[in-house]
Amino acid sequence: MKFELTSENPLRITVISGKGGTGKTTVAAQLSYVLSRIRKIVIADCDVDAPNLHLLLKPEVVEERPFFGLKKAKIGEKCTSCGLCYELCRFDAIVEENGGYRIDETRCEGCALCYNACPEKAIEMVEGERGKVYISNTKIGRFVHAVLYPGEENSGKLVMEVKELARAEADREGAAAIIVDGAPGIGCPVIASLANTDVALVVTEPTLSGLSDMLRILDLTEHFRIRSAVVINKYDLNEDVAEEIERKCRDRGVEVLGRVPYDETLPEQISMLEFPFRGKAAGEIEKVWDRLREFLS
Ligand code: SF4
Ligand code: SF4
């Protein structure tokens, strides 16, 4: 039986790549557009360190929520300037200033060592706003996105918040699919992007570094037992490496669902924020959905 989208059990697709710049967001955006013509969808941008899907989707924000990350240290008035916390902090987050000490919040990792060690109990661990999460309307569906304030880390936790909100929005809206533009790389944010995913779509490009990044991310999805398939972007720029990517995928039993040709009009469409995309690359991304349906059947 052919796979059908249903609001009872929304399909959760996460589009990822081993590193940035492979066309991951382009694929996620166009695929979202294709699915939005079939059923209601929710889109989530989990690339919270460098979000750019909002540029294409031109969201109208309907709700804004503060994001609270890890608690960070704050030195209070009881401090006697003994310097113990300064000695202990391994992250150089305590700064000597005017004969006293202060915390550099951008360096504080929230480990609470100073809090526990201070003989004067002069340090508090304080929750602060580290970013914002937005729920927006776009022409193709509800969109959950976020920003992390400059210098802030812990984007894995923010990614989890974006995903949870996207799921809640999908339930509220009766959406039949959640398309996640995942964080790049293989670190904590991408692992958070992949949580509760039905299928990971790995976007790669035909370069040796693209091949090696793809293999690393497939190791990750295999480790977490997430069904994965590959899209080769700009495959015709280096057909030898594209063939090597296909061979490696075959060896691992991973299907290649898209071979997106280089489209010289696409960079201009992207820079002019002309979305949905048109042309041969957009056409091939649209076919990825048909193949994904077969893959899921
Ligand atoms: S350990 Fe406590 S008292 Fe000593 S410098 Fe740090 S905050 Fe001040
Ligand atoms: S909480 Fe940890 S990282 Fe932050 S200032 Fe204290 S010792 Fe340093």
Token pair, residue 179, equals: 């398309």
Is 3 within the bounds of a domain? no
Percent with pLDDT over 70 in the chain: 99
Taking the CA of residue 78 as reference, the ligand 1 atom at the shortest distance is 3
pLDDT at position 47 over 90: no
Is 287 within the bounds of a domain? yes
| Strands (E) located in the chain | 11-16, 41-45, 60-68, 72-75, 94-97, 100-103, 123-126, 129-138, 141-148, 177-181, 199-204, 228-233, 255-260
Q: How far is the CA of 120 from the centre of ligand 1 (A)?
A: 7
Q: What integer is the mean pLDDT of 244-248?
A: 96
Task: Verify that 157 and 269 share a domain, yes or no.
Answer: yes
Is 1 within the bounds of a domain? no
Q: How far is the CA of 113 from the centre of ligand 2 (A)?
A: 6
Give residue 134's pLDDT: 97
Is 4 within the bounds of a domain? no
> Helices 24-36 and 280-296 sit at what angle, rounded to 10 degrees?
70
Is 2 within the bounds of a domain? no
Domain tally, the chain: 2
Q: Report pTM.
A: 0.85
Task: Verify that 262 and 163 share a domain, yes or no.
Answer: yes
Taking the CA of residue 76 as reference, the ligand 1 atom at the shortest distance is 7
Task: Verify that 91 and 223 share a domain, yes or no.
Answer: no
Task: Verify that 62 and 77 share a domain, yes or no.
Answer: no
Task: Verify that 96 and 151 share a domain, yes or no.
Answer: no
Give residue 59's pLDDT: 96
Query: How far is Cα of residue 80 from the mean position of the Cα atoms in its chain?
Result: 44
Q: What is the CATH number of the domain that holds 99?
A: 3.30.70.20
Q: What is the CATH number of the domain that holds 189?
A: 3.40.50.300
Task: Verify that 22 and 121 share a domain, yes or no.
Answer: no
Task: Verify that 234 and 139 share a domain, yes or no.
Answer: yes
End position of a domain, from candidates 112, 127, 142: 127
Task: Verify that 226 and 289 share a domain, yes or no.
Answer: yes
* Residue of 72, 74, 77, 81 with the most ligand 1 atoms within 8 Å of its CB, for mutation: 81
* Domain span at 77: 72-127
Task: Verify that 149 and 292 share a domain, yes or no.
Answer: yes
Q: What integer is the mean pLDDT of 121-133?
A: 92
pLDDT tens readout for residues 75-97: 999 999 999 999 999 999 999 99
* Residue of 101, 103, 104, 124 with the most ligand 1 atoms within 8 Å of its CB, for mutation: 101
Is 200 within the bounds of a domain? yes
Is 156 within the bounds of a domain? yes
Is 76 within the bounds of a domain? yes
Q: Supply angle C-alpha 278, 282, 286, rounded to 5.
A: 125
Largest CA distance in the chain: 74
Q: CA-to-CA distance for 127 and 248, rounded, in angstroms?
A: 46
Task: Verify that 176 and 284 share a domain, yes or no.
Answer: yes
Contact residues of ligand 2, CB 6 A cut-off: 73, 89, 91, 93-94, 103, 108-114
Task: Verify that 234 and 282 share a domain, yes or no.
Answer: yes
Task: Verify that 19 and 150 share a domain, yes or no.
Answer: yes
